[in-house]
Structure 1
Amino acid sequence: MASVTGSSMSMTTLSYSLKQNQALTRISNFNSVSLSVKEKCFPSLRLSRFRVCCAAKPETVNKVCEIVRKQLALPADSAVTGESKFVSLGADSLDTVEIVMGLEEEFGISVEEESAQSITTVQDAADLIEKLIEKKA
């Protein structure tokens, strides 16, 4: 899957200015898009399928980092970020199950086995948590 990071985006029916850490949750009813990436403009891209994904809130990522440190008994000063892979932090499959259980308990959610298997990074976990919380609401 391709990924585009841009400073602005405009649609034929909607126009948004995307800024760092600004959440854009839903866009619908458009057929073409114009992107501006690092001052290069790519006008009128025709899209048959387009998805906008938003990263989890920093607070959620930080809480997941705390839970991962606790479950893996890592020192408080260990570098755990959204990009941290559980395997790189020394987690085996049992540790990952325990991390997911800790996340379920902390956030009051239930993670299905299929979803749990797709979690490989702290960011994956945080994104899934926010998606499940949103569904629950």
Structure 2
Amino acid sequence: MATNTFTRVSLSARSLRPQFNHRLAFSSIAGPRSSSFSSYGRRNVSFSSQQHSVRLRVSCAAKPETVEKVCKVVKNQLALPDDSKVTGESTFAALGADSLDTVEIVMGLEEVFGISVEEDSAQSISTVQEAADLIEDIISKQSP
């Protein structure tokens, strides 16, 4: 454990003059990017520069059955093996689809679901989940 003395500067609310506390010590290193400081044996401040990934999960509007059907159409259109993993989060690009493949996927979805997808809507689809959400949106608008 390394002990180096640092100076902590704090401002008093009454005088606005800095007060120095020389008892702040570097107390531990948890790794190459993490350390903590303590004063009087208590931990006051902890620093970490480790990368943290944030995963945003969006609540999907499409039914699981719709997502499953879309996955089957995508697998069929891209001639993917049956054991390949296609989920709602799968992007067409990650599955190896180019723009022509995406058009064919949309045409396959129109045929399977009995719907018509407008060109501007079709161009905005990049994931299986987006396709399923769009399909359910179109179907709900067609229902009286």
The TM-score bracket by the shorter chain reads: 0.5 to 0.7
1:72 matched residue in structure 2: 78
Note the aligned Cα RMSD (angstroms). 0.9
Q: Please, which of 58, 61, 84 is the counterpart of residue 55 of structure 1?
A: 61
Q: Give 1:54 shift.
A: 4.7
| Residue 57 to residue 69, structure 1, CA distance change in 2 (3 Å) | same
Distance 2:127 2:60 in 1: 16
Higher alpha-carbon Rg: 2
TM-score (norm 1): 0.61
**8 Å contact kept, 2:90–2:128:** yes
Identity score, percent: 76
TM-score (norm 2): 0.58
1:91 matched residue in structure 2: 97
Distance 1:98 1:129 in 2: 15
Count residues with an aligned counterpart. 85
1:126 matched residue in structure 2: 132
Distance 2:81 2:60 in 1: 30
Higher-RCO chain (CA-CA 8 Å, sequence separation at least 6): 1
SS at match of 1:94: helix
| Residue 54 to residue 91, structure 1, CA distance change in 2 (3 Å) | closer
The amino acid of 1:96's aligned partner reads T
Q: Give 1:55 shift.
A: 1.9
* 1:30-67 deviation per Cα after TM superposition (whole angstroms, max 9, x unaligned): xxxxxxxxxxxxxxxxxxxxxxx752000000000000
Structure 2 residue runs without a partner (length 5+): 1-58
Distance 1:73 1:127 in 2: 23
Structure 1 residue runs without a partner (length 5+): 1-52
Distance 1:132 1:90 in 2: 26
Q: Please, which of 103, 106, 110 is the counterpart of residue 112 of structure 2?
A: 106
